[in-house]
A = this chain, B = another copy of it.
């Protein structure tokens, strides 16, 4: 089964953090999950608040379990907050519906997993994370 190797997950995280520094963002935290929403790798930058793992995981896990990008989840939440809230509860309270949750696909469009980026504005989180996914030759859908 295609998937994201640990080596690639590490590179996605580093390149996302590099991009964040280049953009002048606040300290980022980044999680990479597989197609089942299970954690492959996570790093929290020095100086980031303690609770970053759960927010990052909520972004990534929500995406991959719902098959929607963070942006799509945010748009749906704007229209039907009760639906996204209930879906999050049904999925174990780990669905944070904002940009920065990014689907990871291969060149053939197969879903490999997702990443969750948090630390700055949702839009900046997304831009940094997309650069990280690009850097390993995979396709970001955010």
Interface residues of A (CB under 8 A from B): 1-2, 5-6, 9-10, 34-46, 48-55, 57-58, 62, 64-67, 74, 77-78, 80-98, 110-111
> Apart from A50-B64, A90-B93, what 7 extra A-B contacts exist at CB < 8 Å?
A9-B43, A34-B36, A49-B66, A77-B83, A86-B97, A88-B89, A93-B93
Q: Is the CB of B90 within 8 A of A89?
A: no
Q: Once the chains bind, are B88 and A95 in contact (CB under 8 Å)?
A: no
Residue A89 contacts which of B51, B74, B78, B93 (CB distance < 8 angstroms)?
Answer: B93
Prevailing SS type, chain A contact patch: mixed
Contact between chains at A50 and B77 (CB < 8 Å): no
Bound CA–CA A46/B36 (angstroms): 14
Taking CB as reference atom, which chain B residue is nearest A68?
Answer: B49
Whether the Cβ atoms of A37 and B10 lie closer than 8 Å is no
Asked if B90 and A54 make an inter-chain contact with CB atoms under 8 angstroms apart, the answer reads yes
Quote the shortest CB–CB distance from A75 to chain B (angstroms). Answer: 11
Instruction: Give the docked Cα–Cα distance between A82 and B78 (Å).
Output: 8
